């Protein structure tokens, strides 16, 4: 059995208590009291009385009794302090556990968010690639680059007259309006079209409820601008303006991409109307409609789909073209605004490009006009060449009637066959490739044509 001294010597080993705490002070006090009591008992041990009497006498002594009572009280206090310390230790341990758990949760959340971020980036990249594939499947034309190219060629400040007209303002403000803008070659139809597109994209910038799509027809790209190609161009741009690829588009893409086929113009038109219905307003701008392919009823088919879009979706449609009879007839009853080159804008352009002008520039313009003639249907192409031949070689300006009679002449025939007379509108259509009405070209034009 351990002695009292052994117990006293072991007291400081209980727990890592700081010397400045109440518990440690109480332990020290108990230790002192117990030490004093032990010394008192050791003195009593030397008494001559028998063991029990000697021990009973020791505890009956007043001083000893007081020491025992005080020690008991202090032990009770010590037990309370130990209970408090135990609770505090438990609370601190719990707090540390909670902090550790919280740190683990934070690390877990950070890892989770990091993995999610990586996964989302991968998903976003896959979605972007799929989006690009679907858009390129619709059309490979980079319409934004086309628009940027035309815009860069404009002289600052030109074209404002068109935007200020009541016709144009009404067209923009009223849903379902159409505006037909005919004009002769060189009147600036394409530049004005680019101004209209810039105006709309600026006015409705950031509005997801407004869709804007446009096509620049070009006689040099007729093989790539058949009716279904043009509808696909419009479809691509309306889809491109949406935050995600519509579900209506995916089945068409998956079906035709797998078999390397193309949808019919009917399917494309139906899809175009479905996508257009996802917008509150839709603006369609078509430049130089007369220059798109005329074979296989391209004009008719494309215009039919445009008018369907206008009827079913109340799309706002803006079209520029030369005054081709078939096209003019389709737009009869539609608000019309004549496109023409403003004198002040021509002067402004010349001032800005004076250093670039010369015979080579004019030659390039005439070459392009000849390309435009050669790009027409065979009958109209031959008629245009005949008209130009007579006008260039005539010694004086010719009237329209004189041109009609001249091209009606048949070599070897003594009399004019009136059945060969070409209609006035056809003569005008053929001749306006170079100038407004049949007559005599200026000296530079005549020299170039003869030399060519």
Domain co-membership, 259 together with 381: no
Question: Is residue 437 domain-resident?
Answer: yes
Domain co-membership, 337 together with 385: no
Question: Is residue 296 domain-resident?
Answer: yes
Domain co-membership, 316 together with 252: yes
Question: Is residue 325 domain-resident?
Answer: yes
Question: Is residue 120 domain-resident?
Answer: no
Question: What pLDDT, in 10s, does the model give residues 263-279?
Answer: 999 999 999 999 999 99
Cα(27)–Cα(49) distance, integer angstroms: 34
Partners of residue 317 on adjacent β-strands: 178, 284
At 356, the pLDDT band (50, 70, 90 cuts) reads: low
84 pLDDT above the threshold of 60 = yes
Give the mean pLDDT of 39-48. 63
Dihedral through CA 202, CA 208, CA 209, CA 214, nearest 10? 50
Task: Return the closest-CA partner of residue 180 out of 70, 72, 307.
Answer: 307
51 pLDDT above the threshold of 80 = no
Count of domains observed in the chain: 3
Domain co-membership, 228 together with 85: no
Domain co-membership, 86 together with 176: no
- Put simply, whether the predicted model's pTM sits higher than 0.85 gets the answer no
Domain co-membership, 162 together with 277: yes
Cα(85)–Cα(290) distance, integer angstroms: 96
Domain co-membership, 188 together with 251: yes
Cα(236)–Cα(223) distance, integer angstroms: 19
Count of beta carbons in the 10 Å neighbourhood of residue 231: 26
Question: Is residue 182 domain-resident?
Answer: yes
Partners of residue 281 on adjacent β-strands: 210
Domain residue limits at 384: 358-451
Domain co-membership, 264 together with 189: yes
Q: Looking at the chain, how many residues does it have?
A: 452
Domain co-membership, 47 together with 102: yes
Task: Return the closest-CA partner of residue 388 out of 375, 369, 412, 410.
Answer: 369
Give the model's pLDDT for residue 391: 76
Q: Which residues make Cβ contacts (< 8 Å) with residue 303, sequence separation at least 6?
A: 289, 327, 330
Question: What pLDDT, in 10s, does the model give residues 387-446?
Answer: 878 877 777 777 888 888 888 888 877 788 888 888 877 777 666 655 544 444 544 455
Decide: helix, strand or coil at residue 317: strand
Highest mean pLDDT among 88-97, 152-161, 225-234, 335-344: 225-234
Cα(322)–Cα(429) distance, integer angstroms: 8
Question: Is residue 238 domain-resident?
Answer: yes
Find how far residue 188's CA is from the centre of its chain: 30
Task: Return the closest-CA partner of residue 150 out of 212, 217, 103, 85.
Answer: 217
Cα(211)–Cα(196) distance, integer angstroms: 14
Which pairs from 149-158 meet CB under 8 Å and 24+ separation?
150/190, 150/191, 150/193, 150/194, 150/216, 151/194, 151/198, 153/191, 154/191, 154/194, 154/195, 155/345, 155/348, 155/349, 155/352, 157/348, 158/188, 158/191, 158/195, 158/342, 158/345, 158/348, 158/349
Q: Distances from the Cα of 314 to the Cαs of 116, 156, 299, in angstroms?
A: 43, 33, 21
Decide: helix, strand or coil at residue 423: coil
């Amino acid at each position: 059995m351990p002695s009292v001294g052994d117990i006293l010597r072991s007291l400081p080993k209980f727990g890592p208590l700081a010397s400045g705490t109440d518990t440690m002070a109480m332990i020290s006090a108990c230790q002192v009291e117990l030490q004093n009591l032990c010394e008192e008992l050791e003195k009593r041990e030397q008494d001559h009385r028998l063991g029990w009497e000697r021990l009973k006498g020791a505890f009956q002594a007043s001083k000893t009794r007081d020491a025992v009572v005080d020690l008991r009280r202090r032990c009770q206090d010590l037990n309370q302090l130990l209970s408090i310390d135990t609770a505090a230790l438990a609370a601190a341990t719990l707090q540390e556990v909670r902090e550790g758990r919280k740190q683990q949760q934070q690390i877990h959340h950070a890892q989770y968010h990091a993995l999610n971020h990586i996964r989302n980036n991968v998903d976003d990249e896959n979605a972007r690639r799929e989006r690009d594939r679907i858009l390129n499947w619709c059309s490979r034309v980079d319409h934004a680059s086309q628009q940027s190219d035309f815009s860069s060629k404009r002289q600052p400040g030109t074209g404002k007259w068109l935007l200020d007209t009541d016709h144009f303002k009404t067209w923009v403000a009223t849903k379902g309006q159409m505006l037909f803008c005919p004009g002769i070659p060189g009147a600036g139809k394409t530049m004005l079209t680019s101004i209209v597109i810039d105006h709309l994209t600026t006015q409705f910038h950031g509005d997801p409820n407004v869709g804007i799509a446009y096509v620049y027809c070009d006689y040099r790209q007729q093989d790539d601008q058949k009716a279904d190609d043009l509808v696909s161009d419009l479809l691509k741009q309306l889809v491109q303006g949406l935050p995600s690829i519509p579900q209506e588009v995916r089945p068409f893409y998956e079906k035709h991409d797998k078999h390397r086929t193309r949808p019919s113009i009917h399917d494309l038109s139906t899809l175009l109307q479905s996508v257009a219905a996802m917008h509150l307003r839709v603006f369609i701008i078509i430049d130089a409609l007369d220059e798109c392919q005329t074979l296989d009823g391209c004009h008719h088919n494309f215009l039919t789909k445009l008018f369907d879009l206008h009827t079913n979706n109340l799309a706002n449609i803006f079209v520029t073209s030369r005054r081709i009879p078939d096209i003019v007839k389709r737009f009869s009853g539609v608000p019309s605004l004549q496109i023409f080159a403003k004198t002040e804008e021509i002067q402004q352009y010349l001032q800005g490009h004076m250093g670039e002008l010369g015979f080579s520039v004019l030659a390039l313009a005439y070459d392009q006009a000849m390309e435009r003639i050669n790009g027409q249907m065979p009958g109209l192409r031959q008629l245009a060449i005949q008209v130009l031949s007579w006008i260039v070689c005539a010694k004086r300006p010719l009237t329209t009637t004189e041109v009609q009679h001249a091209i009606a002449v048949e070599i070897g025939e003594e009399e004019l066959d009136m059945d060969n007379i070409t209609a006035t509108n056809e003569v005008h259509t053929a001749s306006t490739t170079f100038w407004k009405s049949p007559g005599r070209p200026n000296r530079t034009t005549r020299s170039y044509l003869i030399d060519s």
